[in-house]
Chain A
Amino acid sequence: MASPVIKVENLSKAYQIGQIGTGTISRDLERFWVTKIMGKEDPFLRIGETNDRSTKGGSDIVWSLKDINFEINQGDAVGIIGKNGAGKSTLLKLLSRVTSPTTGEIKVKGRIASLLEVGTGFHPELSGRENIYLNGAILGMRKKEITRKLAEIIDFSGVERYVDTPVKRYSSGMYVRLAFAVAAHLESEILIVDEVLAVGDAEFQKKCLGKMGDISKGEGRTVLFVSHNMAAVKSLCTKGIVLENGLVGFNGTVDDSIDYYLMNADNYAQKKWQINQAPSADFIRLLEAKVLNEKGEVVLNHPITDDIKIEFTYEILKEDQLFLHGFNLFNGHNIHILSSHDKDSSTLKIPLSKGIHKKTVTVPGNFLAEGSYNCSFAIMRYNPFHVEFHEMEVVGFNVIDEISESTVRGNYSGRFPGIVRPLLNWK
């Protein structure tokens, strides 16, 4: 059985929010008096609020992490995922000893190297070679260790020609290449990597990801990878930890973690309505909505290449009604992606009989960007135009990108901007 190399026990970190400055001396004195002289609990740490950015808390102290517990085994590649402000960066900072925990502890076996940033401490005036030494030493390498690996580092970076030029003359891509090359050759048992690392051009990214994969799979080292980018997490990690408001929400395999994370976007792939709550007009009542994959199964998470079918089931209450269907699609940031209605619907010409009917709309694969989506459903009439009902947040689904030849992303693993990600024809 694999043994744990990192053990996190009851780890908490509190931050003081708002202005730090005025009154700090008096507050420090008060704090000192209360805790050290009178032996009471620190009054400025007493309220255990969770870290929820959207609600205003009552105190100046916010718990960025609260009583976190987990273990990481040797050779695991663990993706740490979570929304902005869930405590990912704080955990990273604590693990890399940039700041120290408020309570609790982290036990570590072996050397930790953390890359919260590429090229930390690079000096613009120094040459590439000198910066390799400097950066390597900052990351904890001994000089002879760097000398031994120098050729390998320069080769990996691919900037051999400029290695004696000051790095201020480098292009930003070359700079990053050199910086990552140093980091990739660290001989630590545990490597902590922030997502900012996924930079540079596609070829180099592939190299970086490959290198990181080698580190965890081939060399049996432990990698912690923090990212928003599910595609990169999925391709790199075997396990996942989901952080939510400073707590561990889920800890398991990488696929389960991603599912859990995406699920928590409050999405439902299927929704049924009670008769008295159903969205309805005088002649029609919505009964059920489902998100289906290509095989017709109700699924929440869809690979980016697959078609997504949304099926609406409704009941016609009155005969001889002409109408049409429409739906709107919103992404996780509540941006209105598209609006669509079946303008050529048969229901505009031939009325449906009383009873239960279905309507399906297909969102094509390789069209939406990665993320979570929800859709609305509407019943409308023409002549005159009238919206009978428009129900928001009917069902939702998640689109998951993949690093693969068949996706728009291809082999690029970095941030991929844009609201949609259609596969376009380039000639």
Chain B
Amino acid sequence: MKGNIQSEDWNLVIKGHTSLFDLKFNDLWRYRDLLFMFVKRDFVSFYKQTVLGPLWFFIQPIFTTLVFTFVFGNLAKISTDGLPQQLFYLSGITAWNYFSDCLSKTSTVFRDNAAIFGKVYFPRLIMPLSIVVSNLVRFGVQMCLMLIMMFYFWTQNAAFHVTYSIIFFPFLVLLMALLGLGMGLIITAMTTKYRDLTFLVTFGVQLLMYGTTVIYPLSAAPEKYKRIIELNPMTGIIEAFRYAFLGKGEFTAWSIGYSVVVTVIVLFLGIIIFNKTEKNFVDTI
């Protein structure tokens, strides 16, 4: 009898092989404070000892917008669905940046944090989650820039209008975050063994941008490529984002539903692979 009571008392059993679906979410919850510490650390360390501080968050999208306007708008004369070019590009860049930051930063989580992961245990998933949340801060700042631009163009009577779909905005952000996170998790888990993938990510993300409707509207895509572009789950999200804020874009239940399904699958796979890898990656990295 006594033995029975004792054996149930163990509140932690460290084993080599655990179930694939033992994702330890309550552990994650217990360490929630740590997540916000990491977010704070990222934010504070980003602007410390810089002159412009958080203003740097503005500079990258402004310049990218200017370059895109010049190259794709003025030189290549790619359609922007009748929207002001600056607004069209900025909206695409803002949304895309959030996704690509989430993806590329989470994709190096194991490598960047090998030192800390090798010394102390905490639920590893905290780290990529904190990256997604800290990027949210940056995204928020860039959204402010976009709102300022929208206000400016509104005073100029430019041809765009905000639609009621704007209520889906938080949902779209969540979708981008989770999709980036899921893909990042899969990649970082694989890079612990196969380093080659790191190189792929840097230019892969850039290439993927051209396969997404960032610099052109889906409506302007040639018919034979349209199917392929629609297969990209980010396309549906960015189109919906643009429709919500600027009133142009293809926002249908099908397009967004497809993105949701892909995101859920990718995220689920990502978390499982990540959890499987975290246990032993210290030995291989």
Expressed in whole angstroms, the Cα–Cα distance for A3 and B9 within the complex equals: 11
Expressed in whole angstroms, the Cα–Cα distance for A117 and B13 within the complex equals: 23
Chain B 86-104, CB-CB to A under 8 Å as 1, else 0, gives: 0000000000000000000
B12:A112 contact, CB within 8 angstroms: yes
- Of all chain B residues, the one with the shortest Cβ separation from A7 is B10
Beyond A99-B279, A107-B13, A109-B10, is A134–B41 a contact (Cβ under 8 Å)?
A: yes
Beyond A25-B194, A98-B121, A99-B279, is A123–B13 a contact (Cβ under 8 Å)?
A: no
A99:B120 contact, CB within 8 angstroms: no
The answer, yes or no, to whether B170 is at the interface (CB within 8 Å) is no
A101:B121 contact, CB within 8 angstroms: no
Beyond A3-B6, A137-B31, A137-B33, is A101–B116 a contact (Cβ under 8 Å)?
A: no
Interface size class of A (residues with CB under 8 A): 35 or more
Expressed in whole angstroms, the Cα–Cα distance for A120 and B49 within the complex equals: 23
B16:A101 contact, CB within 8 angstroms: yes
The answer, yes or no, to whether A201 is at the interface (CB within 8 Å) is no
Chain A 104-142, CB-CB to B under 8 Å as 1, else 0, gives: 111111101010110011010110001001100111111
The answer, yes or no, to whether B282 is at the interface (CB within 8 Å) is yes
What is the total number of residues of chain B having a CB less than 8 Å from a CB of chain A? Answer: 35
Q: Which chain A residues numbered 136 to 154 have a C-beta less than 8 Å away from chain B?
A: 137-143
For B120, give its contact among A15, A20, A114, A125 (CB under 8 Å): A114
| Closest chain B CB from A131 CB (angstroms) | 9
Expressed in whole angstroms, the Cα–Cα distance for A7 and B3 within the complex equals: 14
A98:B282 contact, CB within 8 angstroms: yes
The answer, yes or no, to whether B45 is at the interface (CB within 8 Å) is yes
- Of all chain A residues, the one with the shortest Cβ separation from B195 is A21
B279:A100 contact, CB within 8 angstroms: yes
Residues on A with C-beta less than 8 A from B6 are 3
Residues on A with C-beta less than 8 A from B119 are 98, 116-117, 120
Beyond A117-B119, A137-B31, is A108–B14 a contact (Cβ under 8 Å)?
A: yes
Residue of A98, A114, A120, A126 contacting most chain B CB atoms (<10 Å): A98
Beyond A24-B193, A123-B45, A137-B33, is A106–B118 a contact (Cβ under 8 Å)?
A: no
- Grouping DSSP codes into helix (H, G, I), strand (E, B) and loop, the B interface class, with mixed when no group exceeds half, is mixed
Chain B 37-53, CB-CB to A under 8 Å as 1, else 0, gives: 11011001100110000
A109:B121 contact, CB within 8 angstroms: no
| Closest chain A CB from B56 CB (angstroms) | 15
| Closest chain B CB from A237 CB (angstroms) | 22
The answer, yes or no, to whether A421 is at the interface (CB within 8 Å) is no
The answer, yes or no, to whether B280 is at the interface (CB within 8 Å) is yes
Residues on B with C-beta less than 8 A from A15 are 283
The answer, yes or no, to whether B269 is at the interface (CB within 8 Å) is no
Expressed in whole angstroms, the Cα–Cα distance for A64 and B41 within the complex equals: 37
B41:A123 contact, CB within 8 angstroms: yes
The answer, yes or no, to whether A96 is at the interface (CB within 8 Å) is yes
- Of all chain A residues, the one with the shortest Cβ separation from B281 is A99
Q: 3 tightest A-B contacts by CB?
A: A97-B121, A137-B34, A100-B279
**25 residue pairs bridging A and B, Cβ less than 8 Å apart:** A16-B284, A20-B193, A93-B118, A94-B14, A98-B119, A98-B120, A100-B279, A101-B14, A101-B15, A101-B16, A105-B16, A108-B11, A108-B14, A109-B10, A114-B120, A114-B121, A123-B41, A125-B45, A130-B40, A130-B44, A134-B37, A137-B33, A140-B122, A141-B33, A143-B37
Chain A residues in the interface with B (C-beta under 8 A): 3, 7, 15-16, 20, 24-25, 28, 93-110, 112, 114, 116-117, 120-121, 123, 125-126, 130, 133-134, 137-143, 166
Given contacts A16-B284, A100-B280, A108-B10, 8 further A-B contacts (CB under 8 A): A93-B282, A98-B121, A99-B280, A100-B16, A101-B15, A109-B10, A120-B119, A143-B37
